[in-house]
Amino acid sequence: MLSRVMTHSRPASHDETNRAALDWRAGDVPVSRRFDDPYFSLENGLEETRHVFLGGNGLPGRYRDGFQVAELGFGTGLNLLASLQAWRETGVTGVLRYTSFEAYPMAPEDMVRAQAGFAGLNALAAELSPQWGRSVIELDDLRFELITGDARQTLPGWDGLADAWYLDGFSPAKNPELWEADLLAEVGGHTAPGGTAATYTAAGFVRRGLAEAGFEVTRVPGYGRKRHMTTARKARA
């Protein structure tokens, strides 16, 4: 399925000091030098995304026109690709809204290299690859916005309410700033009634932070070597 791409979206910042600095492992698995952590599972990043973020949020079964995904940590764009692929395969009509908060955006050429390892996404990755580096991408079925900067500063000013959150920062042990209680409280405040969140980590302080932010928190089986992960749901008004 090909969608019309709107070309008027403003470019994202290209300040090289804020670009993600990478090493590569096992061929095409990017590893952050800043956080010494891979961007996705060394076993199968796409299946991890489907298990943790889609499955953990009950997707694609909850999709509807205007459904809003929000994400902490855009990284390689893999979660976006998997989400849009699931949207198209489900056949739901309308527009998927997707907003991602990222402090250190990856260079477009690095995103393309990382995504190339997932053959099942090749067509969609090729469709979107000319748009990487833009802060807004509009297709017939997608409205995407990348908000760059420290999420502790940028999320409070966001006027959206997410139906589903992907909490995909680097490991809490290596990137604790993205898992602070105050930021998780902002996540809760920017979640629609009945909305959900999911993350690969089952760290106790993360689960407590989500509970304090107004979520009902559940520890569930994780992906691959991770025994557990976390899902959360905000009560309906």
Query: Greater confidence, 67 or 4?
Result: 67
Q: What is the pTM of this model?
A: 0.89
What is the amino acid identity at position 81? L
Report, as an integer, the average pLDDT of 12-34.
Answer: 70
pLDDT for 154 beyond 80: yes
Dihedral (C-alpha) 198, 203, 207, 213: value to the nearest 10 degrees? -90
Q: Provide the pLDDT for residue 226.
A: 84
Structure tokens given for 237: 């008004």
| Average pLDDT score over residue span 90-98 | 97
pLDDT recorded at residue 12: 45
More confident: 133 or 225: 133
Residues in CB range of 213: below 8 A, 6 or more apart? 181, 184, 185, 187, 188, 189
Q: What percentage of the chain exceeds 90 in pLDDT?
A: 74
Does the domain at 16-234 match CATH 3.40.50.150? Answer given as yes
